Amino acid sequence: MPNVNSAFDSVEVRDSSKVAALDIGSNSFHLVVARIVAGSVQILHRVKQKVRLADGLGKDGVLSEEAIQRGLQTLEVIAESLQGFEPENVRVVATYTLRKAKNAKDFLKAAKSVFPFPIEVIAGVEEARLIYQGVAHTNHQQGQRLIVDIGGGSTEFIIGEAFEPKILRSLQMGCVSYTNRFFKNGELKPKNFLKAITSAQQELEMIDKQYRQLGWKTCIGTSGTIKVIIELASHLDSTTPENCVSKSDLYALMDLCCDAGNSENLKLEGLSIDRQPVLAAGLSILIAVFNNLKIETMEFSTAALREGVLYEMEDHLQQLDIRERSAQSLATRYDVDVEQAKRVLNTTMTLYQECKKTWKIDNKELKSLLEWAALLHEVGLQINTRGIQRHSAYILQNIELPGFGQEQQNLLATLVRFHRKKIRVDEIPEFTILGQEQVHKLMTLLRLGVLLNIKRQDNILPEFSITTKGETVTLKLPENWLQNKPVFSADLERECNYLKELDFTLEYN
């Protein structure tokens, strides 16, 4: 009888890692758990929970308590699937509804008590970029391709080639939001479709000409909405290729919806009960997309946002560090003084290394964001030298920064906003991923990195060190070094007063 226990003894065991990505969407929450081995992603587990978070987003921009509770209950369920995962192996991204909700922070705060992983609210363009990465790593067409992803609250449009997105846009139209606007009480009449299609076409006027000019060879749809439409189209008497949908198929499905009269009466093969209410809205948006972008046929890809997140989580699977490219592009566009940026970066990192343990900020992501802030703190110099900190913060707050989440971008802008001059604590926003104390500590390090390089010259600074104990920061300079530097001494004294606003005490010799 064979020895089963020893059957795999000679099999080579490769290094692997287990990662998870959660997409907190406006319609559904999607979890994907994967094993990354030998440079490939192996999907182990998927969880999809219908939440319809966008249903609770009122006209006043406030997310209802009922919707918040639905989301929190779903996060509790998903947390069970993530037991045993380290935080660095899980990335959670939230999209349209939490981007738009005025009280999103209430949801994010409450989530901390039931869900042990940080939630990152990403901008629409960043969502589009990650969707493209998911498709690019799993589909291998030649030439440029157009990707369309219809979500619950927004629809993303991307044209790219290979692993490189060339144009990214996110429009505020989705199957949940359009259901609430145009198909209330499930009413399915031609006039409802006409209004919804017209509204979507008006949104598309902002991008359609530019997209058609750039062009594409292949058109790909992602998301559950397009998947369901293609599945329904496959049951029609149509010559459309498998896994594709044509313009004529879309209008045929619209006629079937109108014949039903109400979403509750919509009995189509392959249509689940939870998709019945939002089908008409998704169909209307897709018809508008076909019309404005002159599309005849679209194929479906199973990969989307969460797969894009997964592929970016492993360093060796990334085609490039997108954040590095974003920073370089910004520095070039605004003529950043690169030499000064490097001086501030090096000094700030020296300070960080010496106090990261005692200040409990020894975190790869915190270090990375502090580095970007040091490199980009003078992007506003091109606007005006006066109030540079305000100009730099405005640019970083409002410009598209692929690779950075909404809160990460907000932190960059905040650090840069207060890298010099007075600190106005009431203007420092509250962060959900970071504690305010951590933000204050990063801000202090950047301010000292800038101050110590105020002469903007190499080889000016002597050997120095920094120690921290609680809220006391001690800067140690060579004995008597400050005696013949009255201006620099005055700058340090003034900084002592500034840092009191953060409840920090700066001491120096």
pLDDT at 15 over 70: no
Report pLDDT digits (tens) over 111-138: 999 999 999 999 999 999 999 988 988 7
- Other beta carbons within 10 angstroms of residue 349's beta carbon come to 17
Determine whether 453 is exposed, middle or buried from the number of CB atoms within 10 Å of its CB (0-12, 13-18, 19+). Answer: buried
- Other beta carbons within 10 angstroms of residue 50's beta carbon come to 15
236 near 189, Cβ under 8 Å?
no
48 near 33, Cβ under 8 Å?
no
- Predicted local distance difference test score (pLDDT) of residue 327: 82
The DSSP letter of residue 12 is: P
pLDDT at 316 over 50: no
Q: How confident is the model at residue 319 (pLDDT cuts 50, 70, 90)?
A: very low
- Predicted local distance difference test score (pLDDT) of residue 312: 80
Paired residues of 473 in beta bridges: 468, 506
- Predicted local distance difference test score (pLDDT) of residue 2: 55
Sheet (strand 155-161) strand order: 164-171, 155-161, 145-150, 218-222, 297-300, 244-246
Sheet (strand 505-508) strand order: 465-469, 472-476, 505-508
The DSSP letter of residue 185 is: G
3-state helix, strand, coil in the chain (%, to 5): 50, 15, 35
The DSSP letter of residue 506 is: E
Average pLDDT of span 39-45: 76
Angle at 477 between CA 474 and CA 480, to 5 degrees: 125
Closest Cα to residue 466, out of 440, 491, 447, 448?
Answer: 448
Helices and strands in the chain: count of H runs, count of E runs: 18, 14
pLDDT at 323 over 90: no
Report residue 6: phi and psi, to 5°: -105, 10
pLDDT at 190 over 60: yes
Report pLDDT digits (tens) over 85-113: 988 889 999 999 999 999 999 999 999 99
Report pLDDT digits (tens) over 138-176: 777 789 999 999 999 999 999 999 888 999 999 999 999
Closest Cα to residue 279, out of 267, 296, 291, 293?
Answer: 267
Residue count of the chain:
509
pLDDT at 1 over 70: no
d(C-alpha 246, C-alpha 251), whole Å: 9
Q: Which two tokens stand for residue 279?
A: 């089908």
d(C-alpha 408, C-alpha 323), whole Å: 11
Consecutive H or E run containing 74: helix 65-81
Report pLDDT digits (tens) over 464-503: 889 999 899 999 988 888 888 888 899 999 999 999 999 9
Report residue 504: phi and psi, to 5°: -105, 145
Counting residues of the chain whose pLDDT is more than 90, the rounded percentage is 63
292 near 209, Cβ under 8 Å?
no
Report pLDDT digits (tens) over 267-298: 898 898 989 999 999 999 999 999 999 999 99
pLDDT at 11 over 60: no
Place of tokens 């449009």: 157
- Predicted local distance difference test score (pLDDT) of residue 14: 53
Chain mean pLDDT for the chain: 89
- Render the burial of 309-324: b for 16+ CB within 10 Å, e for the rest: bbbbbeeeeeeeebbe
Query: Among 148-162, 205-219, 388-402, which is the least confidently predicted range?
Result: 388-402
* Beta strands 119-121; 90-94: pairing state: parallel
Average pLDDT of span 182-207: 96
Report pLDDT digits (tens) over 451-467: 999 988 888 888 888 99
Query: Among 3-7, 163-167, 413-417, 422-426, which is the least confidently predicted range?
Result: 3-7
Rounded to an integer, what is the distance from CA 237 to the centroid of its chain? 41
Q: Which two tokens stand for residue 44?
A: 């182990």
Counting residues of the chain whose pLDDT is more than 70, the rounded percentage is 94
